Structure 1
């Protein structure tokens, strides 16, 4: 009887335990579809907020010529390069 328990735990229980945690590890290491959707939504929200900030800064600058924005300068090439790279990555992922 002890041999059956030993056989069952060794050849059934141990591989099941190992495969169970390997599967958990593989699924936890990747982004889920919901995570990707949330990141896309946050990215679009950030772009809309950036456009709104540009509009507000233009309005304030029109009313007050001494106004100097404390944030990044609009349409400066070095600031826009990471955004273009994100746009390319999103377009590539959407084209798959």
Structure 2
């Protein structure tokens, strides 16, 4: 019985002294990073992607308008 207890206690002590503190530090560090929001670089990339998406939407609308004028049934063919 004592052998089994020692086999359980030794890894438990190692876990509580070494693994658990490192785990907690890494967990709360990642929580803090998530709470900070977007960095300036990420924000700039988001703005650039948004502008690109708006331009693409305008181009698609123009293409659809041209197709409607030249071939009114193009939507039914797809």
CA displacement 1:52-80 (0-9 Å, x = unmatched): 000011111100011228xxxxxxxxxxx
Q: How many residues align?
A: 52
What secondary structure does 2:74 align onto?
Answer: coil
In structure 1, the partner of 2:58 is: 51
Q: If each structure's helix is expressed as a fraction of its own residues, which one has the higher value?
A: 2
TM-score, normalising length: structure 1: 0.44
What secondary structure does 1:31 align onto?
Answer: coil
Listed as ranges, the gaps of 5+ residues in structure 1 are 1-13, 70-96
CA displacement 1:16-56 (0-9 Å, x = unmatched): xx5x9856642x21210111110010000000000000001
TM-score, normalising length: structure 2: 0.53
Which aligned runs of 4 or more in structure 1 are off by greater than 3 angstroms? 20-25
Structure 1 or 2, whichever has the larger Rg, is: 2
Listed as ranges, the gaps of 5+ residues in structure 2 are 1-20
Q: Could you say which structure has the greater relative contact order, defined with CA pairs below 8 angstroms and 6 or more residues apart?
A: 1
CA 22–62 in structure 1, closer or farther in 2 if over 3 Å, else same: same
